[in-house]
Structure 1
Amino acid sequence: MRRLALIALIALAACKEEVAEAPPPAALTEAALSYFCQMNVAEHGGPKGQIHLKGHPQPLFFAQVRDMLAYLKSPERDAEITAIYVSDMGRADSWDHPGPDNWTEAANAIYVVEAGVRGGMGAPEIVPFADAGAAQSFIGAYGGRALPMTEIPDDAVLAPVDLDADLETPA
């Protein structure tokens, strides 16, 4: 019986996964470049995103949350993701100044889709909030609907974009 208990204990120890602690969000600085276009992220308004990858000392920054979500849905990425953060627009100073350190965990955020607002790179934006009330206030002003990240439709992120569309830039 002791031998069986010892074997079970060894098997459990061998199966135990090491859980790495997620890195904290990095502050948005003037040096941060957007992953896709390599433009300065801080020079563009609207919400931002950052993805931390295993083995990479700096996160990938995104000038638009829509771009970050497109990266996440891409089949071509191969590095393990250790953390994902988005701007909490409920705590942003303004649309043009979303803040250097008002990040929230992307998985816990509430996203407003189909609001008809223009993100930092000119495409329709998906707007994250840490607080459901702040998301509902935004919907009251700009329209759209609130969804968790897991329910954002692919076409809201991956579909072609009309940069000449009549989109608003929130105040």
Structure 2
Amino acid sequence: MPRLSRFFFLAGLLAAALVLAGCGESAPETLAAPEPIASGDSCHVCGMTVAAHPGPKGEAFMSADARALKFCSTAELLTFLRQPENEAQLSHAYVHDMGATDWNSPADEAFIRAREAVYVLGHSRRGSMGHTLAPFADKNAAEAFIKDHGGKIVGFDDITLEQLANLGGGATPSHTTSR
């Protein structure tokens, strides 16, 4: 085989190997970790200062943007995520595990993946936006919370816009600091 032909043959083999290598499993996606809530962070939806209010907070990372969108309540986070244009772009989201932190000042170390949490809907505790959903990493902790505050357990995929709109007895989430 002449030298030039051998070069093209080897170059073709190399190109084919690279194409085939690209067809295999892609590397696992690295998810951004939750960002600490700073005292000046404002809610992506309402603009309120996130850390200034009680109750669980949330963060969402959209596929087109690496920065955290922060929310002053799980009600606002989940309402945002249930919008079709946002649901399609969601990379991942986090919520506070209320079984691992204080209701009045949730710790950033207590963030868990929103999809993996169980939520208590219809309880008596109030967050920054009035009624909100209480997320838990552990179903037993959610059941203990229900004994003290009422409500029912729902999974992430079972939460609907209708349920979110009815959190406050039929009204959409209000901007209140009532506790």
1: distance between equivalents of 2:98 and 2:173?
22
2:118 paired residue number: 110
Q: Rg: which structure is higher?
A: 2
CA offsets, 1:58-77, max 9 Å, x none? 21111110111111111233
1: distance between equivalents of 2:126 and 2:75?
11
Runs of 5+ unmatched residues, structure 1: 1-6
- Report matched runs for 1:76-155 at 5 Å: 76-77=85-86, 80-93=89-102, 95-122=103-130, 124-155=131-162
1:4 paired residue number: none
2:9 paired residue number: none
Query: Alignment RMSD, CA only?
Result: 2.6
Q: How far apart are 1:10 and its partner, in Å?
A: 5.2
Q: Which has the higher helix share?
A: 2
Moved more, 127-136 or 111-120: 111-120
Count of residues in Structure 1 that have an aligned counterpart in Structure 2: 157
CA offsets, 1:82-126, max 9 Å, x none? 221000111112x2111133101111111001113322122x211
1:161 aligns with 2:168: no
Percent identical pairs in the alignment equals 29
2: distance between equivalents of 1:163 and 1:53?
23
Q: How far apart are 1:18 and its partner, in Å?
A: 5.2
> What is the one-letter code of the residue matched to 1:75?
P
Q: Is the 8 A contact 2:75 2:129 kept in 1?
A: no
| TM-score with structure 2 setting the length | 0.76
1:30 aligns with 2:39: yes
> What is the one-letter code of the residue matched to 1:76?
E
